[in-house]
Structure 1
Amino acid sequence: MDNMKISREKSNSSVFFSVKNMTTIAMMTAVICVLGPFSVPIGRVPISLLPLAVFLAVYIIGTVRGTIAYSIYLLLGLVGAPVFGGGSGGPSVVFGPTGGYLVSFIFMALLSGFFIHRFYKNVVIQGIGMFLGILLAYGCGTIWFMILMKCNLKVALTQCVFPFIPFDIVKVIVGIIVGRSVRRRLIAANVIED
């Protein structure tokens, strides 16, 4: 009985680490690296395409693989690759005032991905789940910002949350439309599994 369990576990891990899965993770990491640096500065925190890239990753290749792709992106930026907003990179960005948002996108990916794939046929619930992911990122990132900048909640929300809500709603909508379309095409082409 134990041999069968071990055999199944080896089989599951070999499927996860298949060339196909590793390739899709690498390709989605590349997409995140391309979209991540695009930003429009409007204060301490720039408007970024990064949340959209995270939504696309978890929508297209799944929650776990999408989160891994984002985590690889974060590690690339941490070691100095210029993949963050405005082409920046390095530990000073990750551990700086806005680094909490970068780190919290891991949790945003997990929460959003859960809603995307658990409620695949209901785009309204997907959108709500994705926006809940953004709220989670806002919460974690804003607390981080308040601690490092030694500011109060009102200042942090004014600089880091309120200006971004309309843009993030648009990112949720675009993420659903584009993610759904690309995922269907990749499944039809047998690039990813349903």
Structure 2
Amino acid sequence: MNPIPSATTKHPQVRTHLLVRIALVTAITCILAPLSIPLPFSPVPLSLTNLVLYISIFILGWKAAAVSYLVYLLLGAIGLPVFSGFAGGLGKLAGPTGGYLVGMIFLTILSGWIAERFLKKPAVILIGMLLGSAVNYLFGTVWLCVQLHLSFAEGLMIGVVPYLFFDITKILIALFAGLTIQKRLKALLL
């Protein structure tokens, strides 16, 4: 059961609310994702993209959150400067950080699916978000290694290890904020 009304609900007003939320989350992703911090030792910047995705699963549910992120990816792929560092285009998706961008689809789906199934269990949701991040790291690291001709261990050292503290912090912020926002949205929409 979705935590808040979803597109499967027959009522047109609920569908409109969901479409507006998808558009708003996509817009927020487009605004916050380019605001990244490049790190001198890695082509992977410190980004707010995953924070937005973690929160989006509480606002939209996993299916709509995945749609929102896919729209963001399409906007970036056609050249809008919505990726980290205000970049856009297919070159960014094909470049060293493209695996992380693609992996975030699975981060959203896995984390969101677990969050919906275990709505009353924050510890399980936390584990789901960590698993989603691990899948994202795997996609990103494999692609980074292919692009830069690195060993998997080297890829982990420049594409994952330096970001663990920040990503765990973002997960904790998103868990608290997401559950709070979700309760308020549910009260407004039901």
Which TM-score applies when normalising by structure 2?
A: 0.90
- Residue 90 (1) aligns with residue 89 (2): yes
Matching residue of 1:171: 170
Partner Cα separation in structure 2 for residue 166 and residue 122 of structure 1: 23
* C-alpha distance in 2 between matches for 1:85 and 1:29: 15
Aligned residues: 181
Matching residue's letter, 1:187: K
TM-score, normalised to structure 1, is: 0.88
TM-superposed CA distance for 1:45, in Å, is 0.6
Q: Which amino acid aligns with 2:52?
A: A
Unaligned runs of 5+ in 1: 1-10
Q: Secondary structure at the match of 1:48?
A: coil
Counterpart code for 1:120: L
Distance in 1, Cα, partners of 2:51 & 2:58: 10
Aligned to 2:78: 79
CA separation in 1, counterparts of 2:105 and 2:91? 19
Alignment match, 1:187: 186
Q: Does 1:28 align with 2:57?
A: no
Which residues of structure 2 form unaligned runs of 5+? 1-6
How many angstroms apart in 2 are the aligned matches of 1:87 and 1:15?
Answer: 38
Which has the larger Rg?
Answer: 1
Q: Which amino acid aligns with 2:16?
A: V
Shift of 1:19: 2.1
Query: CA separation in 2, counterparts of 1:156 and 1:15?
Result: 48
**Are 1:135 and 2:134 counterparts?**
yes
- Work out which structure has the larger RCO, using CA pairs closer than 8 Å and 6 or more positions apart in sequence: 2
Pairing partner for 1:19 from 4, 16, 20: 16
Q: CA deviation at 1:20?
A: 2.2
The CA RMSD over aligned residues, in Å, is: 1.8
Runs of 4 or more consecutive aligned structure 1 residues displaced over 6 Å after TM superposition: none
